[in-house]
Amino acid sequence: MKQAILIFTLLLFVTISFGQSNADSPEHVITFKKGKTIVQTSEDGKMLINVSPKDLRKFKADGVVRYSNFGAVGDGKTDDMEALVATHAFANQEGLGVKADDGATYYIGGKDRTAVIRTSTDFGEARFVIDDTNVQNRNAHVFLVNSALEAFRPEGIVSLKTNQKKIAVSLPATCLVTVTDSNVKRYIRFGPNQNNGSSQTDIFIVDKNGNVNMDAPIIWDFDQITEVTALPIDEETLTITGGHFTTIANSAESKYTYYNRGIAIKRSNVLVDGLEHRIVGEGSHGAPYGGFVNISECAWVTVKNCILTGHKTYQTIGSAGVPVSMGTYDITVNRALNVSFVNCSQTNDINDNRYWGIMGSNYSKNLLYDGCTFSRFDAHMGVANATIRNSTLGHQGINAIGSGTFIVEKSTIRGRTLINLRSDYGSTWKGEMIIRDCVFVPANGSSVSASLIGGSNSGQHNFGYTCYMPEKIMIEGLYIDDTNHPEDYRGPAIFTNFNPKMTDDSFVEAFPYITTRQVILKKVTTASGKSLRVSDNRYMFKEVDIRNE
Domain ranges of the chain: 15-131, 132-147+238-400, 148-233, 408-549
What is d(CA 227, CA 298) in angstroms, rounded to the nearest whole number? Answer: 18
Per-residue pLDDT at 28: 87
Query: In the prediction, which pLDDT does 5 show?
Result: 39
* Mean local confidence (pLDDT), 260-284: 98
Task: Return the SS3 of 12.
Answer: helix
- Which residue type does 165 have? K
Identify whether the C-beta of residue 90 lies closer than 8 Å to the C-beta of residue 57: no
Amino acid at 279: I
CATH of region 132-147+238-400, choose from 2.160.20, 1.10.3470, 3.90.1170, 2.130.10? 2.160.20
Helix, strand, coil distribution of the chain in percent, nearest 5:
10, 45, 45
Average pLDDT over residues 88-99: 97
Q: Is the pLDDT of residue 33 over 90?
A: yes
| Range in 40-44, 488-492, 498-502 the model is least confident about | 40-44
Contact 357, 369 (CB under 8 A): no
Q: What is the pLDDT of residues 305-356, one digit of tens each?
A: 999 999 999 999 999 999 999 999 999 999 999 999 999 999 999 999 999 9
- Angstrom distance (rounded) from CA 295 to CA 335: 8
* Rounded CA separation 170/155 (Å): 9
Kindly report, residue by residue over 377-424, the tens digit of the pLDDT. Answer: 999 999 999 999 999 999 999 999 999 999 999 999 999 999 999 999
Beta-carbon contacts of residue 538 (< 8 Å; ≥ 6 apart): none
- d(CA 70, CA 72) in angstroms, rounded, equals 6
Cβ-count burial of 115 within 10 angstroms (0-12 exposed, 13-18 middle, 19+ buried)? Answer: buried
The residue type of 356 is W
* CA distance readout (Å), 273 to 124, 305, 370: 10, 6, 14
Q: What is the mean pLDDT of residues 481-486?
A: 94
Q: Taking the alpha carbons of 531, 536, 539, 544 in that order, is the dihedral positive or negative?
A: negative
Cα torsion angle, 527, 532, 535, 536, sign = negative
Tell me the pLDDT tens digit for each residue of 206-252.
999 999 999 999 999 999 999 999 999 999 999 999 999 999 999 99
8's CB contacts (< 8 A; 6+ apart) are: none
What is the identity of the amino acid at 155?
A: E
Which residues have C-beta within 8 Å of that of residue 309, sequence separation ≥ 6? 277, 278, 279, 292, 330, 346, 347, 348, 358
- Name the residue type at position 164: Q
Task: Tell me the C-alpha distance between 297 and 212, whole Å.
Answer: 17
Q: How far apart are CA 175 and CA 62, in angstroms?
A: 33
Sign of CA dihedral 241, 258, 365, 515: positive
CB 315 within 8 A of CB 325: yes
| Cβ atoms < 10 Å from Cβ of 1 | 5
Helices (H), 34-175: 53-62, 81-94
